[in-house]
Chain A
Amino acid sequence: MNAIWSFIRTDRRFIFLVVAVTVIVPVLVTIPFPVPVSNATRAAFNTMEGLKPGDAVLLSFSYGPSSMAEVQPQVEAVMRHAFRKGLRVLTVSLFPDAAPLGSRALARVVDSDEFRSESGGSRLVEGTDYVNFGYRLGTDTLIRRLGQNIPQFIETDVRGERLDALPVMQGIQNFDQIALVVDFAAGDSPDWWVVDGQGRYGVKVAVGVTGVMVSQQFPYLNSGQLAGLIGGGVGAAEYENLINAPATATRRVATLAFVHLLIIAIVIFGNVLYFREQRAAAEGDPA
């Protein structure tokens, strides 16, 4: 027995193997789990739900491939909700590596069956229902400039079309005409949006962030500076269920749940070993 415990303690590959099995099995075997909705995600949903058709929502992408497993499903769920409500969707990437991911999410939602027209194409038209600004240099400076004059600063969309000629941009000059900004982030951008977007220009801001960033956002959520908070893969699954469109994140809930339980089991197991060693050391037995 001691040899087994000693092996587990010294060879990390055993833990790696258990984690790999716990991640892979739920991917192969679909296990439906109920998804309870947190207050923070419900606030984001309610904020979006409160907007009127024709309102403009700006989706800001500030993440990359490393965090796409958590954030990309959030983007698609929020985008789908916005299009369902008939909102005008504007997208901008604050990080260069976020732009292709934002475009990919946009294409997946726009071309999905839900928005297919009778002729077979999407009934959502670029330039009329949505516009993609692509990557724009400047991070927090960009937010301040957008707050002053969007079409003057951006000028053209990602296709090279002039913004002032696009129906989707009619009447939009600055943040006064933006009903909501949703920032999807894996870095500092929620702070920029709260300080510059919400603080300086008064635009309503919600965020979708990675799991490790959730706790940092609660002061902003509690003070009302954030109108909603979608946290990690679980938050994405919650949002998918709120809009009744279970997708990637909902399928991953089982994996997340089993890995969470595994981590708890590993922590308990590690502490059992620790106390066993402590007791053995106190009794003078080198276990």
Chain B
Amino acid sequence: MRTTLPLAICLVMGLLMLVQWFVPHPLSMELFRRVNDWMLTIGVFALVLGIGSLIMVHTRRVRRQTANWPYSVVVLLGLVVTAGVGFVEGFAHPLRGLETTQALPYEEGTYTAKAGTITIRDAGVKGVTLEKGDRVRVLYEGGGHTDALVTTTVSDADDGNTDGVVTAAIAAWRQGVPPENGTAFAVIHPGADVFNWIYEYFYVPLDSTMFSILAFFIASAAFRAFRARNLEATLLLLSACIIILGLTTPFIYVWGKVLPMIPEAPTAAKDWILEVPNLAMRRAIMLGVGLGSVAQAFRIIFGIERTYLGGGG
């Protein structure tokens, strides 16, 4: 039963998904939509498995103090700090780290809200600048609120005086346009965003650096390994050189000056290699992989291939 039920589910779902591709009926489309939603849900479990595996592997290394174990401490710290900051900010400031000012008390004519603007008249906004990305929030007397994003930075001083009257352009009101006059309002400023700070100042430089140093290793490898040892290696080497030169503008420029009768030759040679031999080879590989995938899919659907069930079938 432990094997039969999964095989039966695989057979039914495999055939259903195969048939639905050719049947654009609303029922078939609805099935497709639901299956894709299930896939998204199931995909989240892979994240849990991945994080669980990462923690177990590196915790074991730290506990046993194997070679380079301090790096595992860095991995675990990075995971805990980054995820922790993300969770805390997410829960504390669901609107990406926004901080709310104290709601200014209601007074007649405190603001005038329209579909695309809000005019605020209050001593609380004297000399104040509303930054693009801030929110203005209108609080209803009976509870609840609606808010809108400020789309352009605007200052109380823009009209030449700091009289506490600011008109800000806003995006659509999220819960509909509020009453034109009345109730209280607040201005919400984006707060510190530590999560993005970690991304900007840790992840981006580290990831970029790791990839950038490849240039040095590629140059070193080209010097050591790119040798015309036999016919195949020589063909590979010549093709690579033609493509590199076809992308090198000073070479193309000099070529055009030296051989003006065939100025496009380096670019044309590069394009020919990419569009003819490269294309033919890539297409052959892709067709082979495609046919292999179809065969493997049928093997799985019909239960011939069972290794995915575990235990080696």
Contacts and interface: CB of A to CB of B under 8 A. Distances in A.
Interface in B11-60: 29, 32-33, 36-37, 39-40, 43-44
A222 B36 CA distance: 30
A133 B228 CA distance: 51
Nearest to B283: A219
Interface in B142-189: 149, 151-153, 171-172, 174
Given A137-B40, A145-B40, 17 more contacts: A34-B249, A65-B203, A66-B210, A100-B199, A125-B151, A138-B43, A148-B33, A161-B149, A165-B172, A165-B174, A214-B274, A218-B278, A218-B279, A219-B279, A219-B283, A257-B251, A260-B251
Contact of B204 (A65, A137, A253): A65
B174 A160 contact: yes
B196 interface: yes
A162 B173 CA distance: 10
Contact of A126 (B40, B151, B248, B249): B151
17 contacts: A16-B220, A20-B216, A36-B267, A65-B208, A126-B151, A137-B40, A138-B36, A141-B39, A145-B36, A148-B33, A159-B171, A165-B174, A216-B282, A234-B247, A264-B244, A267-B226, A270-B226
B222 interface: yes
Interface of A: 12, 15-16, 18-20, 23, 33-36, 38-39, 64-69, 97, 100, 119, 121-122, 125-127, 137-138, 141-142, 144-145, 148, 159-162, 165-166, 214-216, 218-219, 222, 234, 253, 256-264, 266-267, 269-271, 274
B107 interface: no
A274 B227 contact: yes
B271 A39 contact: yes
B104 interface: no
B210 A144 contact: no
B200 interface: yes
B108 interface: no
A166 B173 CA distance: 10
Contacts of A256: 247-248
Contacts of A144: 32, 36
Contacts of A100: 196, 199-200
Given A66-B211, A145-B33, A264-B245, A121 B267 contact: no
Contacts of A234: 247
A20 B212 CA distance: 11
B152 to A, nearest CB: 4
B224 interface: yes
B92 interface: no
A119 B152 contact: yes
Chain B contact patch, size range: 35 or more
Nearest to A235: B247
B192 interface: no
Contacts of B37: 145
Given A15-B223, A270-B224, A166 B172 contact: yes
Contacts of B251: 257, 260-261
Nearest to B224: A270
A186 to B, nearest CB: 9
Interface string B248-272: 1111110000000000000100010
Contacts of A258: 250
Contacts of B199: 97, 100
B244 A218 contact: no
B73 to A, nearest CB: 23
A274 B44 CA distance: 53
A33 B250 contact: yes
Contacts of B279: 218-219, 222
Contacts of A119: 152
A19 B217 CA distance: 10
Contacts of B247: 234, 256, 260
B278 A260 contact: no
Q: Which 5 A-B pairs have the closest CB atoms?
A: A66-B211, A121-B152, A65-B207, A33-B249, A65-B204
Given A161-B149, A162-B174, A274-B227, A69 B274 contact: no
B43 A253 contact: no
B171 A127 contact: yes
